[in-house]
Amino acid sequence: MSAILSVDHVGVRFGGLVAIADLHLDVAQGEILSLIGPNGAGKTTAFNVMTGFLKPSQGDVRFRGTSLTGLSPHAIARLGLARTFQRTSVFPDDTVFDNVMIGLHGQGAQMARAPLLAALIGRAGAGERQLRARAEALLDWVGLGARAQEKAGALAYGEQRLVGVALALATEPAMLLLDEPVSGMNASETRVFVRLIRQIRERGITILLVEHDMPMVMEVSDRIVVLNYGRLIAEGPPEAIRSDPAVIEAYLGQGSAARRAAAEAQATREAAHA
């Protein structure tokens, strides 16, 4: 298996704050890889680096052999690396159908040599019809066909997530980054979404998932990477991660009195030594 995406010793610092210390990971072609970790572990930051929304302080990201350093988000999207967003996943004032039409932006470019001129002189008809057909097909595929004419901003949270996925798929990606796609979904919506993720993979799209819903992550992932404090602390198949002591420590020990007590004890010990 070859790596479709390689994160090569990436570090991100905001002033003195280290969001990602030194992240090194490969995503294999065709796998479903999950990136988990407690809040503030650097998962979303890692996403933002991979998709060009953040410039890393060090290191490089390579996608299908191309270095993404210095590329803008829209250029990365056109290389075939798509993403969804945690909170705002739709264009709220447009209908669901028009959302997907906006998502098909990059596809329209290939249809006409001078798309703007074509639009002005009214020659875009055939291309537009093709795009509309694709938008309809895509909406049916993710299960939003019945919602096509509703304002995206008025949809339920879970459905807005689906719109976000449809938008990302509209760019015809080779790899899809999903940022907490099932947060705010109920159990049955989550089940449907898991099926959708598998179907997306069957289309040959590699998936990198950030998610807090552990049962869902365990069920859907081929492999899991665990981050804590901007560092990779564990990596492996779901069964191995479930029983990894470092992971249990990171989740259960996080933010608790136990860690503060341990830190204080450490400080006391150091003071005693000095």
Which residues are near another protein by CB under 8 A?
51, 53, 72-74, 77-78, 82-83, 85, 88-95, 97-98, 101-103, 105-106, 108-109, 115-116, 119-120, 122, 124, 128, 131-132, 136, 139, 145-146, 148-150, 164, 167-168, 170-171
Q: How far is the CB of 103 from another protein (least distance, A)?
A: 5
The kind and range of the H/E element at 78 are helix 73-79
137: Cα separation from own chain's centroid: 23
Residue closer to another protein (CB basis): 148 or 174: 148
Report the nearest approach of another protein to the CB of residue 193 (Å). Answer: 19
Q: How far apart are CA 77 and CA 24, in angstroms?
A: 22
Nearer to another protein, 22 or 93 (CB): 93
264 phi/psi in degrees, rounded to 5 = -65, -40
CB contact set of 270 (below 8 Å; sequence gap of 6+): none
CB of 45 to another protein, least distance (A): 14
Least distance (Å) from another protein to the CB of residue 63?
A: 14
Residue with tokens 């991660």: 241
Residue with smaller CB distance to another protein, 116 or 271: 116
| Beta carbon nearer to another protein, 89 or 206 | 89
**What is the residue type of 164?**
G
Q: What share of the chain is helix, strand, coil (3-state, %, to 5)?
A: 45, 25, 30
